Amino acid sequence: MTTPASPPLLIGCAAGFSGDRVDAAIAVVDTLIARGGPAFLIFETLAERTLALAQLRRRADPDAGYEPLLDDMLRPVLARCLAHGIRIVSNFGAAHPLAAAQCIQRMARELGLPAPRIAVVSGDDLSGPMHRALLRKELGDAMDNIRLVSANAYIGAEAIAAALDAGAQVVVAGRVADPSLTVGPAMSHFGWGADDWDRLARATMAGHLLECGAQVCGGYFADPGYKDVPDLHAVGYPIAEIDSDGHCVIGKADGTGGCVSLASVTEQLLYEVHDPAAYFTPDVVADISAAQLEQVAPDRVVLRGVRGHVRPENLKVNVCHEGGWLAEGEISYAGPRAEARARLAADVLRRRLPALQLRVDLIGALSVMADDGGALQAATPAGDARDVRLRVAATHADRDQAERLGREVNALYCCGPAGGGGVRTALTARLNTLSGLLPRAAVPARFEMLENAT
Amino acid sequence: MSAATLTVPLYRAAHGRTGDKGNRSNISVIAWDAALYPLLVAQLTEAAVAAHFAHRRPSQVKRYLLPGLQAMNFVLDGVLDGGVNDALNLDTHGKALSYWLLDMPVQLPAALAPLLKGPP
């Protein structure tokens, strides 16, 4: 890489999804402090259904609706981040960024810290009644007759960068695109314009590599004998070094397990990518079709060859709505002819539940590889597996119909094949998703500094 | 088959990961060695991969080549029974599907056996 005029910007990522390890940030922050120089800490905690679940929590409790583990994630590192000028950017605001910001304000007070400047990014949440006409216009009649739970546009990095330019030490957002958590800090730090497509694209791919946390460092990668990973139990979280042109080196927190290798980085580079020449985000269309990786040192991989194209005119929007009921039931058969007994139990359930389209899994013989329609199971000859957990699942709009599945699985104790045990049943409210595009101008993003900050 | 040809599961020659968005799955296939890559490109055609996933009834299989990474990216539409919020599968994301593809048999010259991973 060319020697940049200024030291590289360090961006560490300490969460890749809601529910990620809450102790991950400690080693990342230790490393950022030890290396010195400008640094950010990001947490990525939103997935397609996380926001809908957060909206449901907010309905039940007006002060909830942000990342439930926020306190556990941030409390161990907040004081050291503020003391060392490591700024924090996250989408852990989920369905209620203001409440998350207030939580952080309280946390700082409880820790005896000077009040941090906390910015709240908004504009993504389109669940209010005033947005219904816009959603109806752009998503069509699929919006009619649904019970809406959440509606969020994927907004970009500009509001994050503006908040940082204004001096925010912590930026709390909801549904910003995952890579924008990295692009925002880089835009602000290097002073890039919002039309600097190549640089934005490079930072976007750095963000893409960071956004799933340990997944680029040997998490979600190990396969004994084929892809061995040292100390997976202590897998490290990633740190990107980004230069003033947006090029990056991916590394990881010091003193942690895992590995940053060509293989681990290539898998993550292509994760959830469709056309490599057109990776769409609100900030840019990134092109990795000519990307190259080089291992320059142990646990250090350079990404090169990323180009950028003009950002899309439209923003993606996800609408989550109530989707009836999911019923599931399980029972185990073991020993001689276990698979035959499990298959007989499935046949009993199909005959007892004609109103439900049952999915049948024979866990231990054939389960997750198979399709809901049962084509693979029908094409697979019955085997002689000796420890099989039968699982059946169905969905129905009517709760009473869905509940019958659990009762019939339970009844297998006395009425089903011999030797069945370990029944578990569950009934879960479903959430379904509609996706579409909205004109960018219809979704203005903005930030506000939380009051009472000094 | 010539005596100089080996038939091996793809996982000995490549690794990969599955991602999902809605009802669409993408599976990367990354050759363990540059010498293996063109042989995999020749065999892992869109049609061959679509046939391997026939039970998932893909509406389209699209392949993208990334020669700089000795990698391919397969995008399979309509294979997730609706995806994370709709499928009845325990694995609603289809996370396991990379291993379905990595089990596909491929033919390679026996001379390249030293480049393969895992026990023969």
The pLDDT value recorded for residue B48 is 98
Question: Which of A268, A289, A391 is facing B66, going by the closest CB pair?
Answer: A289
Residue contact A266–B71, C-beta within 8 A:
yes
Distance (Å, whole) CA A400 – CA A419: 29
Residue A5, sorted as left (phi over 0), alpha (psi -120 to 50) or beta, turns out to be alpha
Cβ atoms A148, A321 nearer than 8 A = yes
Residue contact B26–A291, C-beta within 8 A:
no
Could you tell me the strand order of the sheet in which A285-287 lies? A279-280, A285-287, A307-309
Q: Is the pLDDT of residue A2 over 50?
A: no
Instruction: State mean pLDDT over A395-420.
Output: 97
Residue numbers of A between 50 and 109 with CB closer than 8 Å to B: none
Check residues A76 and A451 and name the one with the higher pLDDT. Answer: A76
In B1-120, which residue ranges form alpha helices assigned H by DSSP? 37-43, 46-52, 97-102
The pLDDT value recorded for residue B99 is 98
List CB contacts (< 8 A) between B24 and chain A. 274
List CB contacts (< 8 A) between B56 and chain A. 371
Instruction: State mean pLDDT over B57-73.
Output: 98
Does B66 lie at the interface with A, CB-CB under 8 angstroms? yes
Nearest to A75 by CA among A110, A101, A40, A45: A110
Residue numbers of B between 15 and 44 with CB closer than 8 Å to A: 15-17, 19-22, 24, 26, 28, 30
Q: Work out the mean pLDDT of chain A and round it to a whole number.
A: 96
Per residue in A148-194, pLDDT (tens digit) is: 999 999 999 999 999 999 999 999 999 999 999 999 999 999 999 99
Neighbours of A83 (CB within 10 A): 11
Q: Is the pLDDT of residue A454 over 60?
A: no
The pLDDT value recorded for residue A49 is 81
Residues near A133 by Cβ (< 8 Å), separated by ≥ 6?
none
The pLDDT value recorded for residue B2 is 54
Percent of chain A with pLDDT over 70: 98
List CB contacts (< 8 A) between A294 and chain B. none
Does A273 lie at the interface with B, CB-CB under 8 angstroms? yes
Cβ atoms A370, A377 nearer than 8 A = yes
Q: Is the pLDDT of residue A453 over 60?
A: no
The pLDDT value recorded for residue B85 is 84
Q: Is the pLDDT of residue A120 over 90?
A: yes
